[in-house]
Amino acid sequence: MVASSVNRLNSCRSSLPSEYTEKLDRSLHRSMPPPSSRESRILIAGGGFGALFLALLLERLSIPYYLFEGGLQVKRLGGALGLGPNILPLFEQLGVASLVASISMPCPAVDLYDQNLKKLGVLPMNALTETTGYEKLVCARSNLYELILAQLSKDNIIMNKKVLSYEENEFGVTVCCSDNSIYCGDILVGADGTQSRIRHNMYKILTRKNLLPKADREKAPPNFVCVAGVAQHLSSEKYNCLKDPYVHVRTVVGAKGQGWHAVNIPDDQICWALWIELDPATAANAKVTEASEFGFQNTEPVVKCFREVPCPFGGTMGELVDATEDNMKARAFVEEKVYETWFHGRTVLLGDACHTMHPWSAQGETNEILDAVILANSLFELRDLSLRSITYAFKDYYAQRYPYVKSQAAFSRAVTKLFCGQSIRERFTRYVTFNWFPQSYSCRMIEGQGHYRPQASFMPLAEHRGKGPAPRQRYPKPFSEEEVARRITSVWGRRRNL
């Protein structure tokens, strides 16, 4: 562990329960229980979509794990979430597709307006349906989170445990939590968000070894500050969109760097978001900490700038915000960066810990889930739990994900400029895109997002749909249940049998 963690733990050693004292002594002496004396396990720091989805896949593989969530309870935060053909086959594999459909509605198009609600253009989504066989779905972020969480064993989810630091050696990895408890495992997955503690610790180690690239030493300033929420129990007489069996996504390009949108979802709810683009000076001075990620911070300074602007569904955005309970609102700084270093030793990063994207392309949570399935596939192929084997698995995960994430970051930037940009050049590009180019141009752009559809290699593949070609999978034929059990037992059951 880093020196500060060692000193802090040593000072409070006497207050720890006796069962932790022995573990603490071993950790402070940079040692760890020998392999035969403990159960093999994966430690997951963070409780976002990527972490939950990885945990769900590990349960299907019967690989032991602990997931550490820093809060006392799951926070129902965020606004609307788009689900496309990239990840919908995964829900079919897991047998929860019908549950996902029950909390979602199809999204045929995204409408763009100016600040006076004059329509600027339409981005069609039905092109995906024909080529992939999947409709674009939209749901509340909090509803999908709770759905995935309900599939997990509560014994493996440890609440109120924020991982502060870690130490690893030839035998495994040990994490230190904010309450001074420590846990041992074989692999550590850092899925703890944009201000990742795991990434911070990993990069400190790599800096000492002079192995950290210059690009990863540079801090990414926030580009936007955003407030999002979900208004519930609304009247369909006031908001007629609630009567429709599909989603209306209506985004408004405001003035002075401002923008907002509203999205209707099932059960008489409307997801909304407000955002302000930060100028370089403000972004440079913004104090972005762990508490700046999606949380219950004071949202009113942002909300007051939008109270009187028109809501695309009628009334004002202020009325929609006031109809939202406080625990359903959240504020966050939005930044964008794809890190070059995703793993070192027995530790690997996932989701926002290694890549952050603007939310308007709906690629953030999608790529977290895709990270999880590719990492699970790589872990499934482990031959043993040696550092050499684990490093090979991490390299395989990185090789499959990094190029695609880079391309998605570029796509995310293009969508952000199209939907939020307010410079003369960006306004001209938006006008040309929606008025001069044929709609087939937009359709091709959207269709390109449906080509990448990896699935879990250790479960039966979801049936191919649509008129487009079937996406290539690493293993076209699924493994038998016997082969999956044999592989898992040979790697993860060995220590338990000793």
pLDDT at 471: 84
More confident site: 37 or 464: 464
Q: Tens digits of per-residue pLDDT, 104-143?
A: 999 999 999 999 999 999 988 877 788 888 999 999 888 8
Mean pLDDT over each residue of the chain, to the nearest integer: 85
318 pLDDT above the threshold of 90: yes
pLDDT at 75: 57
412 pLDDT above the threshold of 60: yes
Q: Tens digits of per-residue pLDDT, 440-493?
A: 777 777 777 778 899 999 999 999 888 888 888 888 777 888 999 999 999 987
Tell me how crowded residue 146 is: count the other CB atoms within 10 A of its CB. 13
Q: Tens digits of per-residue pLDDT, 319-329?
A: 999 999 888 88
pLDDT at 493: 77
3-class DSSP state for residue 178? Answer: coil
> Domains in the chain and their CATH numbers?
3-75+151-219+341-411 (3.50.50.60), 80-145+220-337+415-450 (3.30.9.30)
Q: How confident is the model at residue 235 (pLDDT cuts 50, 70, 90)?
A: very high
Q: Tens digits of per-residue pLDDT, 182-197?
A: 999 999 999 999 999 9
Q: How confident is the model at residue 284 (pLDDT cuts 50, 70, 90)?
A: low
Q: How confident is the model at residue 21 (pLDDT cuts 50, 70, 90)?
A: very low
**231-240, 247-256, 298-307: least confident range:** 298-307
Q: How confident is the model at residue 92 (pLDDT cuts 50, 70, 90)?
A: very high
3-class DSSP state for residue 395? Answer: helix
Which residues neighbour 281 within 8 Å (Cβ) at sequence distance 6 or greater? none
428 pLDDT above the threshold of 90: yes
Q: How confident is the model at residue 437 (pLDDT cuts 50, 70, 90)?
A: confident
285 pLDDT above the threshold of 80: no
398 pLDDT above the threshold of 80: yes
pLDDT at 492: 87
Tell me how crowded residue 172 is: count the other CB atoms within 10 A of its CB. 23
Mean pLDDT of 208-233: 91
pLDDT at 29: 40
Mean pLDDT of 402-427: 91
Q: pTM of the predicted model, to two decimals?
A: 0.88
- Judged on CB neighbours under 10 Å (0-12, 13-18, 19+), 98 is exposed
- Could you give the percent of the chain with pLDDT greater than 90? 56
3-class DSSP state for residue 37? Answer: helix
d(CA 39, CA 491): 12
Which residues neighbour 51 within 8 Å (Cβ) at sequence distance 6 or greater? 44, 45, 67, 189, 191, 350, 351, 372
Q: How confident is the model at residue 78 (pLDDT cuts 50, 70, 90)?
A: low
Which residues neighbour 454 within 8 Å (Cβ) at sequence distance 6 or greater? 370, 373, 374, 377, 400, 471, 473, 474
pLDDT at 54: 97
CA-wise closest residue to 370 among 354, 381, 392, 346: 354
d(CA 313, CA 248): 9
